[in-house]
Chains A and B, each alone.
Chain A
Amino acid sequence: MINTTVARLTIRAMLGRRRVLLLFILPAVLLAIAVLARVVAGPEPQLARDLLGPFAMGTLLPLLALITGTGVIGSEIDDGSIMYVLAKPISRSSIVLAKLTVAIGIVLAFGSLPILLAGIITADQVDGPALAYTVASAFAGIGYCATFLLLAIVTRHAVVFGLLYAVVWETTISQTVPGVQAASIQQWALATTELLLGDQASRAGMDAAVGGIGAPLLAALVVGATWLAVRRLRVLRITGDTT
Chain B
Amino acid sequence: MTQLVLDRVSRWYGNVVAVNDVTMTIGPGVTGLLGPNGAGKSTIIHMMGGFLAPSTGSVLLDGEPVWCNEQVYRRIGIVPEREELYDSVTGREFVLANARLHQLEDPHAATARAIATVEMADAQDRDIRTYSKGMRQRIKMATAIVHDPAVLLLDEPFNGMDPRQRLHLMELLRAMGAAGCTILFSSHILEEVEQLASEIEVLVAGRHAASGDFREIRRLMTQRPHRYTIVSSDDRALAAALIAEPSTSSVRLDGALHVDATDFAAFARALPALARRHAIRLLEVRPDDESLESVFAYLVDR
Contacts and interface: CB of A to CB of B under 8 A. Distances in A.
Interface in B66-102: 68, 70-74, 76-78, 80-82, 84-89, 94, 97-98, 100-102
Contact of A79 (B71, B73, B82, B103): B82
A9 B89 contact: yes
Interface stretch (B21-29, B44-52, B220-228, B292-300): B44-52
Interface in B85-135: 85-89, 94, 97-98, 100-103
Interface residues of B, number: 37
B42 interface: yes
Chain A facing B: main interface SS: loop
A86 B50 CA distance: 9
Contacts of B72: 89
Q: How large, as a class, is the contact surface on chain A?
A: 20 to 34
B52 A237 contact: yes
A235 B53 contact: yes
A85 B97 CA distance: 9
Interface string A76-109: 0001110111111111100000000000000000
B143 interface: yes
B201 interface: no
Contact of A83 (B43, B51, B71, B97): B51
Contact of B78 (A5, A6, A87, A89): A87
26 contacts: A5-B97, A6-B101, A9-B97, A12-B88, A16-B87, A16-B88, A79-B82, A80-B80, A80-B82, A80-B84, A81-B84, A81-B85, A81-B86, A84-B85, A84-B94, A89-B70, A89-B74, A89-B102, A90-B70, A234-B68, A235-B53, A239-B42, A239-B52, A240-B43, A240-B81, A240-B155
Which one of B72, B88, B143, B155 has the greatest number of beta carbons of chain A within 10 Å?
B88
A88 B71 CA distance: 8
A75 to B, nearest CB: 9
A9 B101 CA distance: 11
Interface of B: 13, 42-43, 45-46, 49-53, 68, 70-74, 76-78, 80-82, 84-89, 94, 97-98, 100-103, 143, 155
A238 interface: yes
A85 B68 CA distance: 14
Q: Which 10 A-B pairs have the closest CB atoms?
A: A16-B88, A79-B84, A240-B42, A88-B101, A238-B51, A5-B100, A80-B82, A81-B84, A89-B73, A89-B74
